[in-house]
Structure 1
Amino acid sequence: MATETDDTEAAGAALAPRALLLTHIDPAGIDRGRLIPRAGIESALANGVHASISSATMFTPLDQPVDAVGLDAVIGDLLLRPDAARLAMIDAPGGWAWAPADLCWLDGAPFFGCGRHAVRGAFEALEAEGLSARAGFEIEFTLADGDADNPAPAHTGPAYGVRPLLRNEALIRDLLDALETAGVSPIHVHAEHGLGQFEVSLPARNPLDACDDVALARLIIERISMRHSLSVSFAPIPPVGAAANGMHLHLSVSRGADNLLAPADTGLPGQVGMSLIAGVLDVLPAATALLAGSEASYERLRPGRWSGASLCWGAGNREAAVRYVSGTADAGASSANIEIKPGDSTANPYLAMAAILAGATAGIVRGATAPPPIDISPSHLSADERAERGIRSLPSTLVEALDVLGASDTLRASLGDELVDLYTAVRTPRA
């Protein structure tokens, strides 16, 4: 039972952290971080923390340094600048706090490889059109015991069942407590289709906060799993279980109080909402490299895995790359949104978000026309029928996806040539 002394110590830790975990997600999709002891927190918040350019942004997913966009992997420094507005306690009794970092040049100017800066830029372009956006992610992950040779999944089903929740009740209770302490209250947690697989659905926020929530939630999921002697995998193809892990992005865009994706009399969005969907579909082939950032991602991104491998959209269609969610009668028109399904946790969520916002904005600005929705699984159609309905496949390999990204005028204009080229250099597979 907690005592008054315990409560006082926890409150004191929340006000004066003993340590600050400062993290950012680099172009390789890896969470990099620095732990700042209590004595250095004030200085870190005011002045930032030095880091080499290579360690912050120029490592491949296998931790190989690369030269790119005129930068030498052994030369140069950046500042990691904590966003104090997002500081959160991840362990109140222990006094550990967390904050995301912006990447800046030493003079304080934004570094072109900073994902948080990319989201801000894409959101500002949307706001310039008199629009606002809200977004949230669903994170799938797989839990197993710590046996390296023969790991056993944390549950054996049934899929979407109650038993997996009951079997892991202590872990889930601690996970919910930790997320709420950190200021991220999930919409729900449920067992997924695969053995040992779960999903945490995060609430809709402004786009930058939504991406920060992903970084924070994954940190907490991993931390709580370790405390329960379980290993966690966010990989698109996990080491145990049969189901692939995705990270789905939900997006709605509004003009004032009007949700552009709210269903009209037809049950589908109005003209501007349809242009939004068209813009997202147009950018998706290039954005696939940002949403699905590993070679393993393309094992997941196949028909039949509910991964959205087919470039089309439809109401409630989980095999379409873009699933239209019209909302519910109780929640009203404000809950209507689109779900972008091809993404997984190998992505840098900030860059994925920035790309989708860029596509949505471009579609609205030019009044793009969306193709008709698809009301059947594309795999149930013949090749001729898919061609007739304009259904194409997204890139099937990372190399192909990176080539399409490199040729995208929309994403080069939004993200900048240097960021696109840095991302390509870091993500290109090596022998």
Structure 2
Amino acid sequence: MNQMQEEVLSRVAANNIRFLTLWFADVSGVLKGVSIDPGELEDAFTEGIGFDGSSIEGMTRIYESDMLLRPDASTFQMLPWDEEHRMARMFCDVLGPDGEPAYSDPRGVLERQIKRAEELGFTFRVHPEIEFYLLRAVTDLKSEPEPLDRAGYFDHVSGGMAHGFRRKVVSTLEDMGINVEFSHHEGGPGQNEIDLRAVDALSAADNMMTLRTVINELANQEGVVSTFMPKPFRDEPGSGMHLHLSLFEGEENAFYSPSGQYQLSLTGRRFMAGILRHAREIAAVTNQHVNSYKRLWGGGEAPSYVCWGHNNRSALVRVPLYKPGKSSSSRIEFRGMDSAANPYLALAVVLAAGLRGVTEKYELPDETEDDVWMLSDGERQAMGIEALPRSLSEAVHLMANSDLVADTLGEEVFEYFQRNKRAEWTEYRRQITAWEYEYFLNITN
């Protein structure tokens, strides 16, 4: 065992931990876990904990089902919402029976892409802004849910439950060692946002999974419903997960140049050009559900077109300039991802697209200063502005023809993800909606 694993064993004993939960994600981004007795932890570090991989979505085929979980000691944290039972968690890497990394492990997909960035001399840092809705308890899933409040952007409602709920979430996250930068009410009724501080990409993805779990756990305790559904209400904003991205070379921000436009370096411009060029083909991963495209095409400042800008809130990628002259703050903001994405796979394809732009020296197209939604189709075409996919079906078709996505995800995840998303689209197409009943049954002959 290494020193960090020994330190975890000591912390488990010192804090009288009764249950250790080993977390990992399936290909769809659903959190999975198994609890072990603390006495099994040493063996888990050295040999792994066996499980049936064929029972986990996309993990393996039934005739090769034996897999192992090996906890990552650097992710050890107490779970503060159940002090009575003294619980802690660690994220795990998924291994095959031979002890080698499983290519179907979403966390492993991101780790492989991070390693490629490191081989180029870069560390990938991510600061996510995560939006979600709080709803009153649902008794009938066939009726439209009711938001917890009617507040709006940055509203502070004295005595309102949302403010207290966010405070509990932030306190819980910080108790777990996850630093929060901001939290506030968002634009929709019952909609909230929590922004996590920038960290390395793997920690960021782990933090996103943890935040969703904390929010769902605390909402359950409060008797309300939390949802990361991209577009829960037709006439209200959807929930995105804006990503502030940067590459570092050692302690130096590779995106910073004091003489560059908006202080963005050539590396930063090429990274952004990579994201823009491949945005359509990675959309199935960054926006993985049929409902995701109702967010992208339903208004409320969600990006619908592939372009970049500075203060342009209609752009897919922005270059914030909040702290001129401060090199560490130079970054780009990718606005396309939603809160229901698998963060491991989404960060992996975003990083791969950006690195492709850097290594192949993509030219950044001209900045778009206009409100893209207000332009005509002809004007957008003349400016070379493409549309993001309008449906999950279109997104999966683009993904299927993408060498970049195939190389990034690996054969197992690439093939399973397509099958899973095509099945979702097929099932969705079979549904008859309330709108169709209202429209067609009111037609007079």
Report the TM-score, using the length of structure 2 for normalisation: 0.86
Where does 1:322-333 land on structure 2 (aligned, <5 Å)?
322-329=317-324, 332-333=326-327
Shift, 1:83, TM fit: 1.1
Q: CA deviation at 1:12?
A: 7.7
* Partners of 2:138 and 2:225 within 8 A in 1: no
Q: Counterparts of 1:56-67 in structure 2 under 5 Å?
A: 56-58=56-58
1:367 and 2:356 are equivalent in the alignment: no
Alignment partners' CA distance in 1, 2:421 and 2:239: 20
- The answer as to whether partners of 2:156 and 2:163 remain within 8 angstroms in 1 is no
Aligned to 2:386: 392
Matched, 1:115 2:106: yes
Alignment correspondent of 2:32: 32
Once residues 240 and 151 of structure 2 are traced to their aligned partners in structure 1, the CA distance between those partners, rounded to angstroms, is: 18
Q: Secondary structure at the match of 2:289?
A: coil
Secondary structure at the counterpart of residue 353 of structure 1: helix
Which runs of 4 or more aligned residues in structure 1 lie more than 6 Å from their structure 2 counterparts after TM superposition? 11-14
Q: 2:315 maps to which residue?
A: 320
CA distance in 1: counterparts of 2:64 and 2:254, whole angstroms:
47
**Among 346, 350, 357, which residue is 2:351 paired with?**
357
| CA shift for structure 1 position 345 | 2.6
1:29-178 mapped onto 2 (5 Å cutoff): 29-58=29-58, 72-73=61-62, 76-91=65-80, 93-94=83-84, 95-149=86-140, 151-163=145-157, 166-178=160-172
Q: SS of the counterpart of 1:57? A: coil
Task: Structure 1: state its 5+ residue gaps.
Answer: 1-10, 60-70
Instruction: For residue 17 of structure 1, report the CA deviation from its aligned partner.
Output: 1.9
What per-residue deviation string (whole Å, max 9, x for no partner) do you get for residues 238-265 of structure 1? 2698221112222101234442333535
Instruction: Please say if residues 237 and 301 of structure 2, whose CA atoms lie closer than 8 Å, have aligned partners that are also in contact.
Output: no
Match of 2:223 among 219, 229, 246: 229
Aligned partner of residue 316 in structure 2, secondary structure = strand
- 1:152 deviates by 3.6
SS at match of 1:176: helix
CA displacement at 1:372 relative to structure 2: 0.7
Residue 289 (structure 1) aligned with residue 284 (structure 2): yes
Letter in 2 for 1:159: Y
Counterpart of 1:8? none
DSSP-derived class of the 1:194 partner = coil
- Helix, strand or coil at the partner of 1:416: helix
Query: How many residues in Structure 1 have an aligned counterpart in Structure 2?
Result: 409
| Partner Cα separation in structure 2 for residue 140 and residue 267 of structure 1 | 27
Q: Which moved more, 1:344-353 or 1:35-44?
A: 35-44
Question: Deviations for 1:46-101, whole angstroms, at most 9, x for unmatched residues?
Answer: 43222222322338xxxxxxxxxxx6346512112221210111127231112112
Cα 1:379–1:281 change in 2 (3 A) is same
Return the alpha-carbon distance in structure 2 between the equivalents of residues 124 and 314 of structure 1. Answer: 30
Q: Secondary structure at the match of 1:358?
A: helix
Residue 416 of structure 1 aligns to which amino acid in structure 2? G
TM superposition shift of 1:215 = 0.8
Q: Where do residues 160-199 of structure 1 align in structure 2 (5 Å cutoff)?
A: 160-163=154-157, 166-199=160-193
- Match among 274, 281, 286 for residue 279 of structure 1: 274
Residue 65 of structure 1 is matched in structure 2 by none
C-alpha change, 1:241 and 1:174, in structure 2 (3 Å) is farther
Indicate the larger mover: 254-263 or 281-290: 254-263
1:121 aligns to what SS in structure 2?
helix
Q: 1:45: Cα distance to partner?
A: 3.7
Identity within the alignment, % = 29
Which residue does 2:262 correspond to in 1? 267
8 Å Cα contact 1:22-1:34 kept in structure 2: yes
- For residues 115 and 205 of structure 2, what CA distance do their matches in structure 1 show? 16
Counterpart CA distance in 2 for 1:165 and 1:292 is 35
- Deviation of 1:165 after TM superposition, in Å, equals 7.9
Larger mean Cα displacement after TM superposition, 255-264 or 316-325: 255-264
TM value normalised by structure 1? 0.88
> Does the C-alpha gap of structure 1 residues 216 and 85 become closer, same or farther in structure 2, counting only changes over 3 Å?
same
CA distance 1:345–1:216, shift in 2 (3 Å)? same
Task: Indicate conservation of the 8 Å contact 1:58/1:73, yes or no.
Answer: no
Residues 100-155 of structure 1 show CA distances to partners (whole Å, capped at 9, x for unaligned) of 12111011111111121111111121122222221121111111222424754222
Taking a change above 3 Å as real, the CA distance of residues 87 and 195 of structure 1, as seen in their structure-2 partners, is same
SS at 2:100 equivalent = coil
Residues 170, 257 of structure 1: alpha-carbon distance in 2 compared, 3 angstrom cutoff: closer
Pick the aligned partner of 1:301 from 271, 296, 303. 296
**Map of 1:67 onto structure 2:** none
Distance 1:238 1:43, change over 3 A: farther
Per chain length, whose mean CA-contact separation is higher, i.e. which structure has more relative contact order (CA < 8 Å, sep 6+)? Answer: 1
Q: Which amino acid aligns with 2:77?
A: A
**AA at the equivalent of 2:356:** A
Alpha-carbon spacing, 1:130–1:80, altered in 2? closer, same or farther (3 Å): same
Q: Secondary structure at the match of 1:342?
A: coil
Q: In structure 1, how many angstroms separate the alpha carbons of the residues matched to 2:406 and 2:205?
A: 21
Stretch moving more, 26-35 or 104-113: 26-35
Distance of 1:28 and 1:187 partners within structure 2: 28
Structure 1 pair 194–253 and aligned structure 2 pair: CA distance change class (3 A): same
Structure 1 Cα separation of the partners of residues 298 and 361 of structure 2: 30
Assess if the C-alpha contact under 8 Å between 1:303 and 1:310 holds in 2: no
Contact (CA 8 Å) 2:236, 2:300: kept in 1 or not? no
Residue 7 of structure 2: aligned partner: none
How far, CA to CA, are the matches of 1:266 and 1:75 in structure 2?
A: 53
Partners of 1:310 and 1:268 lie apart in 2 by: 24
